[in-house]
Each structure stands twice: as C-alpha cells, then as structure tokens.
Amino acid sequence: MKGISVIIVSWNARDYLRDCLVSVRDTGGSLVHEIIVVDNDSRDGSPEMVAAEFPEVTLIRAGENLGFARGNNLGLKRASGSSLALINSDVVVHPECLQHLAGFLESHPEVGLVGAKVIGGDGHLQRTCRLLPGVWNIACQALGLDRLLARWPLFSGREMRHWDQNETTEVQVLSGCFWLARKEAVAKVGSLDERFFFYAEDVDWCKRFRDAGWKIFFLPRAVATHFGGGSSANAPLAYCIQMLRANLDYWKKHHGLAGQCVYRALSVLHFGLRVVPLGILKLAGAAEASEVGRKFRENFVSLRWLLTGKEV
C-alpha cells in the first residue's frame, strides 16, 4: 500500500494553510505518501510560502480560482496513494487522526468514505454529519423547528441536532471539510461534480457513494479542528449566494425542476422569516450589533437574490 495522498485546495488562506500543512506533516508520519496543494490563484503569498517552507509538497498553481470541486479533481488526478484525504486549508489535523481513519478503512472494505469528529476554532463541535436534503428536513430548517425541537429526531433537521456525534455511525452525508476516501471507491464513483463551484459538491459526492453501494462512516475517535471561513471569509456575501446557487443545482440534478422549485420556495420562506426580526433588532441597536448586522446582511442578500437574481 502506498499510504495516503493528502489533497488541499487553497485560496488566499496562507496562514491557515501553513498550520494545516504543519499538522499533516507532524501527525501523518510515514502513513502520508504525498501532500498535494492546489492553489486557486491566491494573491496573499500562499504558493510562495508552500514552495519556501514545504519543499516536499507537490504544489499545483491552478492559475485561476477553480473552486472546490475542480481544484480537488486536479489534485485527485495527480494522487497515487491508496487512500485520498481531501482536507480544507483551514483544518488542523490532531495526532492519530489519520491513523484512525486509515485503520477504519482498512478493516471495513465496504466503506468508501470516512470522516473525523470536527471541532470549531471556538472549541465547540461542528456538525459535519447530515442527512441528505429532503423536503421535510429543509422545511424544518426553514421554520426553525430544527432548533426549537432539536431533541426530537423527527424535527431536528439535516444536522440531526438530537445526536451528540459521539458514536461511530454510518451516516448519509459528511461535510467536505475533511474526508478520507478509498481510491478504489473514487474510481467507481467518479470525481467531484464540477458543475458545483463551491458548496453542495460534498452532498452530491456522498449521495453518489451511497448510490454506488459504498458506505459512509463517521469516526469520532479521529479528531480535527476546522476554523471555518479560511477562503469564504474573503467574500462572505458572495459565498452566501454561491451556496444557494449550488443547492439549487443539487436539487435540479437529483430531483428535477419541480424539486428545485420546492427548494427555492422553502429558501424564500427561510430567509423571509429571519430578515424581519433581524432588521428590527438591528434598528433597535441590539446587543452584539455587529453580529446581528452580519446575519441581517447575509439573510437579506440571500432573499434578494432568490427573488430578483441580483448579485452582491
């Protein structure tokens, strides 16, 4: 076995990327066969940093912002390991994490994709396990039932808020911030769908793994930290629209035009129910006004784009 090929796609996230590479180097040891960084035309010195500080890393300069799916596919084409770790640039891998994930794949030949327990930069759990999108769980999210009735599995939404994510469990979807995939499975499932520039490609890939008969597992004894926003923080409002666009594309791909229309209607309801109270709080000078203002802007821009198509 050739070990793990680690693939990291990065865009203007130099400091996060440095920490990510250090963590992979320090924790992976001989298990890591190679590290491939795909730089999406960063202008913050990221590729120069990689070349100077990590000469052992294979650096691919994309020359443009390819997005998440195309960037990872570029790395996948170069990868020669027996398993493939797709890791966001703003992830720090904890000791024994890759070893646990690789050992699980080796001992469970029916599993094609496995993910770690992910902790946010604030020390709190990030819910990386989800259900595939459906009308019911999207409606629960739009109406806020996934938070109001979080302890009830029926209402806890796509993020399964009733579950503490402390057990090794087969799941439907793993967040794309950190995957370990079996190369044999990827060869059968195919690469990431490049119609998704950023967002929803992880849901699509997980659905295709399951459709092809491969199991997806969550392994909480493997742990990583995901700071979030390493790239998306560069243009947060644009990324809100991109997320919606990607989700609409997902629904059209898997549920047709009718499904896409249902998702759009539920999304209008979702953002519409939040814009008004956030606007009132903002005008009233609520505590943590900067956070209220940020949420108001994100919800308003998302709702406006759904109704008018107007970009940021």
Last residue of a domain, one of 186, 214, 232: 232
Last residue of a domain, one of 181, 201, 232: 232
Report the pLDDT value the prediction gives residue 263, as an integer from 0 to 100: 97
- Mean pLDDT over the full length of the chain: 93
Report the pLDDT value the prediction gives residue 231, as an integer from 0 to 100: 55
Residue 140 covered by a domain: no
Residue 283: pLDDT band with limits 50, 70, 90: confident
Residues 67 and 197 in one domain: yes
Mean pLDDT, residues 131-137? 97
Residue 139 covered by a domain: no
Report the pLDDT value the prediction gives residue 165, as an integer from 0 to 100: 94
Share of the chain above pLDDT 90, in %: 85
Report phi then psi at 117, rounded to 5. Answer: -75, 130
Residues 218 and 249 in one domain: no
Residues 212 and 245 in one domain: no
Residue 145 covered by a domain: no
Residue-range definition of the domain harbouring residue 46: 4-128+165-232
218/288: higher pLDDT: 218
Last residue of a domain, one of 212, 232, 252: 232
Report the pLDDT value the prediction gives residue 234, as an integer from 0 to 100: 56
Q: At what angle do helices 236-283 and 135-142 cross, to 10 degrees?
A: 40
Report phi then psi at 183, rounded to 5. Answer: -60, -35
Q: Provide the CATH number for the domain around residue 100.
A: 3.90.550.10
Residues 220 and 276 in one domain: no
Report the pLDDT value the prediction gives residue 229, as an integer from 0 to 100: 61
Residue 38, C-beta contacts closer than 8 angstroms, at least 6 positions apart: 7, 8, 9, 10, 60, 62, 66, 71, 72, 74, 75
Q: State the Cα–Cα distance between residues 93 and 100, nearest whole angstrom.
A: 12
Residues 106 and 54 in one domain: yes
Residues 105 and 181 in one domain: yes
Which single residue is written with the structure tokens 């209402």? 155
Q: What digits encode the pLDDT tens for the residues 163-201?
A: 999 999 999 999 999 999 999 999 999 999 999 988 899
Residue 74: pLDDT band with limits 50, 70, 90: very high
Residue 300 covered by a domain: yes
Residue 134 covered by a domain: no
Residue 148 covered by a domain: no
Per the structure, the count of domains in the chain is 2
Residues 239 and 216 in one domain: no
Report the pLDDT value the prediction gives residue 236, as an integer from 0 to 100: 77
Q: Inform me whether the pLDDT recorded for 287 exceeds 60.
A: no
Residues 95 and 219 in one domain: yes
Report the pLDDT value the prediction gives residue 265, as an integer from 0 to 100: 97
Residues 212 and 281 in one domain: no
Structural contact between residues 149 and 221, judged by C-beta atoms closer than 8 angstroms: no
Structural contact between residues 192 and 97, judged by C-beta atoms closer than 8 angstroms: no
- For 195, half-sphere exposure in the C-beta direction (CA atoms, 13 angstrom radius) is 11
Residues 100 and 18 in one domain: yes
Q: Inform me whether the pLDDT recorded for 1 exceeds 60.
A: no
Residue 63 covered by a domain: yes
Report the pLDDT value the prediction gives residue 21, as an integer from 0 to 100: 98
Residues 220 and 261 in one domain: no
Residue 159: pLDDT band with limits 50, 70, 90: very high
Residue 69 covered by a domain: yes
Q: What digits encode the pLDDT tens for the residues 81-118?
A: 999 999 999 999 999 999 999 999 999 999 999 999 99
Q: Inform me whether the pLDDT recorded for 2 exceeds 80.
A: no
Residues 57 and 123 in one domain: yes
